[in-house]
Structure 1
C-alpha cells in the first residue's frame, strides 16, 4: 500500500492527498544545505507528489516579500473579473494622479514591475494612501526600484475597484475568495500595515505545505479542477521581465540576465546563472531566503523557508545562500 503524506495538496481535487513518492536523489543533500543556512522547511513536489520533505512543513512562517507574488496573481484575477487591465493608467482609478503628467502616465503593469518611479524603503511599508501620495524618484518605466510602495498602491487600486463594483473592498478577502480558498490554501496570518489595511508587499504567513499549493496553481497554468481562476494571458504576463529589469516580471523573479545593479536583484544568483537554469523557472522570494520555485517543464514545485536573522540583514551580512546550488540538487539527474 502506498504511504500517504499528511500534506493535503491539489491534484485535480482540493481534498485529494498528495502521494508520497520515492525521495528525489538530491533530497538529503538539499535538506542538509538548507539546514546549514538557517532553513526550517523544505518541500518538493513533482507532478503533485512529495519527492522531498523536511520537518516543519506544516508550521506557518512569514513569507516576507514572497507575499508580493500573490499580488500579481490577484491582479490576474482582477483582469478576469474585468476590474482592470494591466496596461490601463493607474490614474483611471487614482483621481489624485490625473493632474500630474508623470503620475497620470503610470500603468498598473509598471506598478507590478516596480518600474513606476516610486522609491521606497525595503521593509518599511507606508499605508495605502501615503504610498499613493509619495513623490516619484524616477520617470515611470525607466528604472527598477524595488520596494513596498508600488504594492501598497496596487492595494489601494484594488480596494477602489472593488468598492466601485459594489463588492467587498478588502484586497485580502478578494484574493482569498478568488484564488486561495478555491485552491485549498489555509492562511496562518496576514499582518496589516500602519493604516490597518492588509500589507501587500509583505506580511503573509503560510506553512510550506500551503505555499506549495500556490506553486502548484501556478504550475498548472492558473487552473483548478480544469477551470481557469485567473485570466490566462494576464498570468503569462506576470512571467515577462521589463526593459529596466528583465529578471523581474510582474511580482515574480525570473532567471534572466539583467542590467539592474540594485542589491535586491543581485541577492539571488539565478540572474548570474540564468543560462544554466530552466527558462520557465519562476520564483517568489522573500527576506531570509524564503523561496517558492516553480518549474513547469520539470513538473516541480519547491518551497524553502528559513529563519530571518534581522540583525544580520540590517548589518548587510550575506547569508551565503545560493538558489542555483540548492536547485541543482533537484535539476541534476543524480542530485549532485
Structure 2
C-alpha cells in the first residue's frame, strides 16, 4: 500500500512538472524594445503584466510629488511601465540634466576614441595645447583624459571655475579623487580631436542616432544639457543595452564596461563620470572622507547612476532590465547629487516588485 501511494505521488509530481514546463514554454521571452527615432510611439507594459504590486504605485507617486518632482519614468525591457508628470511639467517640456549630463560627456569621449580620434590614456594637452592649467608643464603633462573621466586630475577642487588661473595643483594626477568641473575640458578635447563643434559632434554621433531631443546650454562654466524626460530615458536605455541601440553599436561594449565599473582605487563607487552602487565604500562630492557600504543601500547592488544637482536621476539596473528617470527641483534643502531622497525613493520603488 505504501509503495503504491509512493508511485502515485511520483507520477503526479511528474505530471505537475511537465504541465508547468509546458506552460512556461508558452510564455513568450521578453525582448528588449527600442522606440522609433521619431514620433511619440513607445510601447508600454502594465503593472499587472509584470505581476507587480499595484497598491505600491500611489504611495510612490505621492512621494514623488511631495518631493518636488517634475517627471518620473520606469522602463522595463525598454517599455514604459510608469510615466508621470507633476507640477505643470509635461512630456514635451525640457528640463536640465545638471551633473547627470556628465555621463553624456563620458559617452562622447568613448565614441571619439572608438573612431580613433583620441586615446583616453593620452595627456589632455596633446589635444587642447599646454597652459590649460596653472601647473608646471611637468605636472600638467601628467593629466590624461582618463584622469578627467575618473575625477583624479589632482587639481584643486575648491573652485568650480576652469580657467587656467583656477586650475591649480593640489596633488599628482591619479593620486587624489575630487569631484570637479574640470571634466568639461573633455568636451574641448572631443571638439579638437573631431574637428567639429562639441554640439555638432554630439548631435550627429549620439543624440540623433537614438532619437533624443535637447540642446546644450552654457550656465557659468558648465555646459548643461536640457531635454525631455523621454530623451533622458532613451539615453538610459542605450546604457542598459551596453551602448547598443537596437542592433546599432553607438558606444562599444569595451568602453561601456570600463565606464560603468570602478575606474580607480580611491573612490570605488565611481566609473567614468558614472556613479556605481553596491561597492564596499565610496566618496562624495566636496569630501575626502571614505564612506563604508553601498551608496544607496536600498537599491540593487548592480545599479549604475547618472546623478545631478537638485536630484536629476538616471538609474540603470541591468539585473532587472530597468531604467528609472527622475527630473525636478531639489527633493529636500540639500541640493547635492546624493541625499536621503535616494534611499527613501528606492524603498518605495522596490515595494513595486518585492
TM category (shorter chain) comes to 0.7 to 0.9
Deviation at 1:230, TM superposition (A): 1.6
Choose the corresponding residue for 2:99, options 35, 48, 65.
Answer: 65
The one of the two structures with greater contact order (alpha-carbon pairs below 8 A, sep at least 6) is 1
Superposed CA offset, 1:7-38 (max 9, x none): xx961642482222213534322222222211
Choose the corresponding residue for 2:283, options 260, 285, 292.
Answer: 260
* 2-structure distance, mates of 1:108, 1:180: 22
* 2-structure distance, mates of 1:121, 1:291: 25
Deviation at 1:47, TM superposition (A): 0.9
* 2-structure distance, mates of 1:144, 1:251: 12
Deviation at 1:48, TM superposition (A): 1.4
The yes-or-no answer on 1:89 pairing with 2:89 is: no
Superposed CA offset, 1:98-124 (max 9, x none): 9622221222111111111123457x4
Deviation at 1:67, TM superposition (A): 1.2
Deviation at 1:262, TM superposition (A): 4.5
The yes-or-no answer on 1:179 pairing with 2:188 is: no
Greater displacement, 296-305 / 25-34: 25-34
* 1-structure distance, mates of 2:178, 2:110: 22
Which residue in 2 is equivalent to 1:234?
255
The yes-or-no answer on 1:331 pairing with 2:350 is: yes
Which residue in 2 is equivalent to 1:43?
73
Distance change (3 Å), C-alpha of 1:273 and 1:120: closer
TM-score (norm 1): 0.80
The yes-or-no answer on 1:191 pairing with 2:212 is: no
> Does the residue aligned with 1:246 lie in a helix, a strand or coil?
coil
Distance change (3 Å), C-alpha of 1:229 and 1:261: closer
Distance change (3 Å), C-alpha of 1:47 and 1:309: closer
Equivalent pair of 1:131/1:153 in contact (CA under 8 Å): no
Superposed CA offset, 1:294-330 (max 9, x none): 11220101001121489x458x9x9964323322333
* 2-structure distance, mates of 1:103, 1:237: 24
1:145-164 equivalences in 2 (<5 Å): 145-149=178-182, 151-163=183-195
Equivalent pair of 2:156/2:170 in contact (CA under 8 Å): yes
TM-score (norm 2): 0.76
Distance change (3 Å), C-alpha of 1:131 and 1:65: farther
Superposed CA offset, 1:116-154 (max 9, x none): 1123457x444xxx25972222221111111212x2211
* 1-structure distance, mates of 2:102, 2:269: 15
* 2-structure distance, mates of 1:85, 1:319: 31
Distance change (3 Å), C-alpha of 1:63 and 1:205: same
* 1-structure distance, mates of 2:232, 2:287: 22
Distance change (3 Å), C-alpha of 1:99 and 1:153: same
> Does the residue aligned with 2:152 lie in a helix, a strand or coil?
coil
Segments of 5+ residues of structure 2 without an aligned counterpart are 1-31
Superposed CA offset, 1:145-170 (max 9, x none): 11212x2211221122122xxxx2x1
Deviation at 1:193, TM superposition (A): 5.1
Q: Greater Rg, structure 1 or structure 2?
A: 2
Displaced runs of 4 or more, over 4 A: 261-266, 332-335
Deviation at 1:177, TM superposition (A): 0.8
Which residue in 2 is equivalent to 1:144?
177
Segments of 5+ residues of structure 1 without an aligned counterpart are 1-8
Greater displacement, 208-217 / 29-38: 29-38
Give the RMSD, CA atoms, in angstroms: 3.1
1:196-235 equivalences in 2 (<5 Å): 199-200=222-223, 203-235=224-256
* 2-structure distance, mates of 1:270, 1:172: 38
Counting matched residue pairs gives 306
* 2-structure distance, mates of 1:265, 1:10: 41
